[in-house]
Amino acid sequence: EVELVESGGGLVQPGGSLRLSCAVAGFTFSSYWMSWVRQAPGKGLEWVANIKQDGSEKEYVDSVKGRFTISRDNAKNSLYLQMNNLRAEDTALYYCARFHGDYEIGNWYFDPWGRGTLVTVSS
């Protein structure tokens, strides 16, 4: 059974750091790009970051560049998000998801997803 389980969320003060983890089971983790997507309270979904199968390519939304780092450990089937210099606007439910799609037409999607881990940035 495919399963993605996020952990590491919590309450942190502005300027603080957190490291999120995502444990993956049920598919060949090392064969796929992976992503983090977040949802702020009362808002829509926002793609945060992607990482290539071997970690050699990483992409970020502009609002987190220089503060967040996505990484992975294929031996542990795990995805990570190191979040530094956190701001109130980073408060959200953070989901990890497999990123893949149809190479022929270039359509990319997130599937499957975890249930998320909540990050709250507040003093």
Q: Which residues bind another protein (CB under 8 A)?
A: 4, 43-47, 59, 61-62, 95, 97, 101-102, 105-116
Beta strands in the chain (DSSP E): 3-7, 10-12, 18-25, 33-39, 45-51, 58-60, 68-73, 78-83, 92-102, 107-113, 117-121
CB of 16 or CB of 40, closer to another protein: 40
CB of 53 to another protein, least distance (A): 18
- Describe the strand order of the beta sheet including 3-7 as a list of residue ranges: 3-7, 18-25, 78-83, 68-73
CB of 19 or CB of 115, closer to another protein: 115
CB of 123 to another protein, least distance (A): 28
CB of 2 to another protein, least distance (A): 10
CB of 43 or CB of 87, closer to another protein: 43
CA atoms of 34 and 112, how far apart (whole Å)? 10
* Cα dihedral 82/88/89/93 (nearest 10): 60
CB of 15 or CB of 112, closer to another protein: 112
CB of 103 to another protein, least distance (A): 12
